[in-house]
C-alpha cells in the first residue's frame, strides 16, 4: 500500500487559491470545509494541511509535512533546510528597496547610512553586504510601506508585485534585490515509499504547468501550402497532417507556444490557412 503524504498549503492568503487550483488540476479531489486544518484527498494518497505561509518551511523541515507550497521570499529569508522540487509559476513578486519620491537617488551608494525598514532582514542584509553598503536595518513585521511617512525609517525594503502600494505611499522603487515565485518544497529525508508518491505528484504538476504554456491548434490548408504550414508549426515532434474529404485540402494539428502564438497565426494566414481553431491543453507529457 502507498503511504499518504502530507502537503502544507497556505490557509488563506495570496498563495492559497493558486495552490489549491494546482492540486485540483492534477485531478486530485478533496473537500475543504470552513476553518478545517486538514483535508484528505479522495483519489490520491495525500493529505492537505492548511497553515500560515511563514510556518510552512519549518513544518516541512521537521517532517510534520512532507511537501509544502511557499514563496521563494519566505524560503530565502528563513533559510530552512528543505529541497526545492519545482517552481510553480504563480505568486510572482520581487523584493525591492524604495525611497520617498522626494529623496534624490543617483545610485546604490546613496543607501549608505540610511535606516531601512523591512520584514526581510536577512535578504536585505545579504544584499547590502554583497553591494558593500553599510546601512541600518529596522525589522518590522507589517505595513512596512508607511515607515518613512511616520518617521520610523528613511527607506523601506518590501515585497512588490505591481508597485501600486509603493506609489500610493509616496515611495519610489530604487533597487530590485530579489525575485520570487511559489515553489514546491520537500523534506530532505523522505522514505523511498513516500518519495515514489511525491514523484507521481510532481509528474502530474509538471504536466499541468507545461500545458499552461501551450495551445492546441487545428487548421485547414491547401495541399500545396502544407510544407510552409509545417515549417511554421514545429509541434511536439511534427504536426499531424490528415486529408480532408474536400480534394486538394488537408487538416493540420499541432501545438504552439503561447508566446509565439500571434506571430505564427499571421504566418499561417499569409500562406492560406483557413478555419483555424485554437483550444487549451489540460496536460502535456513530453
Residues that bind ligand ATP (CB under 6 A): 10, 13-15, 52-54, 71, 73-74, 91, 93, 159, 161, 180
Which does residue 255 touch among ligand ATP, Zn ion, none (CB within 5 to 8 A, set by kind)?
none
Among ligand ATP, Zn ion, none, residue 71 binds (CB under 5-8 Å by kind): ligand ATP
DSSP string, 39-52: EE-SSSSEEEEEE-
Per residue, the 3-state secondary structure of 141-170, as one string, reads CCCHHHCCCCCCCCEEEEEECCCHHHHHCC
Position of minimal CB gap to ligand ATP: 71
Q: Running DSSP on this structure, what letter comes out for residue 234?
A: -
The interface partner of residue 48, options being ligand ATP, Zn ion, none and the CB cut-off 5 to 8 Å by kind, is none
CB of 16 to ligand ATP, least distance (A): 7
Phi, psi of 60, deg, nearest 5 = -75, -45
Of 84 and 285, which CB lies nearer to ligand ATP in the complex structure?
Answer: 84
Comparing CB distances to ligand ATP, the nearer of 161 and 223 is 161
227: Cα within 13 Å, side-chain hemisphere: 1
In angstroms, rounded to a whole number, what is the distance separating the alpha carbons of residues 284 and 212?
9
Q: Going by C-beta distance under 8 Å and a sequence separation of 6 or more, which residues neighbour residue 112?
A: 133, 134, 135
Residue nearest to Zn ion (CB): 54
CA atoms 159, 164, 166, 171: torsion sign: positive
Nearer to ligand ATP, 49 or 190 (CB): 49
Minimum CB distance to ligand ATP smaller for 166 or for 190: 166
Alpha-carbon distances, residue 86 vs 66, 89, 99, 203 (angstroms): 14, 9, 34, 10
Using CB under 5 A as the criterion, what x/- string covers residues 38-77 for binding Zn ion?
---------------xx-----------------------
Minimum CB distance to ligand ATP, residue 219 (Å)? 38
Nearest partner of 161 among 73, 87, 92, judged by Cα: 92
Residue 15 binding target from ligand ATP, Zn ion, none, CB below 5 to 8 Å by type: ligand ATP
- Smallest separation, CB 13 to Zn ion (Å): 7
- Positions that interact with Zn ion (CB under 5 A): 53-54
Amino acid at each position: 500500500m502507498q503511504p499518504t503524504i502530507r502537503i502544507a498549503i497556505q490557509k488563506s492568503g495570496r498563495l492559497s487559491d493558486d495552490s489549491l487550483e494546482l492540486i485540483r488540476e492534477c485531478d486530485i479531489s478533496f473537500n475543504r470545509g470552513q476553518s478545517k486544518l486538514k483535508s484528505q484527498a479522495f483519489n490520491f494518497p495525500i493529505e492537505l494541511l492548511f497553515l500560515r505561509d511563514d510556518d510552512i518551511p519549518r513544518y516541512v523541515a521537521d517532517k510534520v509535512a512532507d511537501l509544502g507550497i511557499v514563496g521563494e521570499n519566505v524560503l530565502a529569508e528563513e533559510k530552512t533546510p528543505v529541497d526545492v522540487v519545482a517552481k510553480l509559476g504563480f505568486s510572482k513578486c520581487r523584493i525591492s528597496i524604495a525611497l520617498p519620491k522626494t529623496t534624490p537617488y543617483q545610485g546604490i551608494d546613496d543607501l549608505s547610512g540610511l535606516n531601512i525598514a523591512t520584514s526581510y532582514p536577512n535578504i536585505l542584509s545579504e544584499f547590502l553586504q554583497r553591494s558593500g553598503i553599510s546601512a541600518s536595518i529596522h525589522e518590522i513585521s507589517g505595513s512596512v510601506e508607511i515607515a518613512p511617512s511616520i518617521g520610523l525609517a528613511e527607506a523601506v525594503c518590501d515585497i512588490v508585485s505591481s508597485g501600486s502600494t509603493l506609489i500610493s505611499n509616496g515611495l519610489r522603487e530604487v533597487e530590485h534585490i530579489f525575485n520570487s515565485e511559489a515553489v514546491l518544497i520537500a523534506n530532505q529525508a523522505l522514505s523511498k515509499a513516500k518519495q515514489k508518491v511525491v514523484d507521481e505528484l510532481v509528474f502530474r504538476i509538471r504536466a499541468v504547468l507545461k500545458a499552461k504554456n501551450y495551445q492546441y491548434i487545428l487548421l485547414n490548408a491547401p495541399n500545396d501550402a502544407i510544407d510552409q504550414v509545417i515549417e511554421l508549426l514545429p509541434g511536439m515532434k511534427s504536426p499531424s497532417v490528415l486529408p480532408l474529404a474536400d480534394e486538394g485540402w488537408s487538416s493540420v494539428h499541432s501545438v504552439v507556444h503561447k508566446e509565439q502564438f500571434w506571430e505564427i497565426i499571421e504566418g499561417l494566414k499569409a500562406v492560406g490557412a483557413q478555419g483555424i481553431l485554437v483550444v487549451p491543453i489540460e496536460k502535456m507529457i513530453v
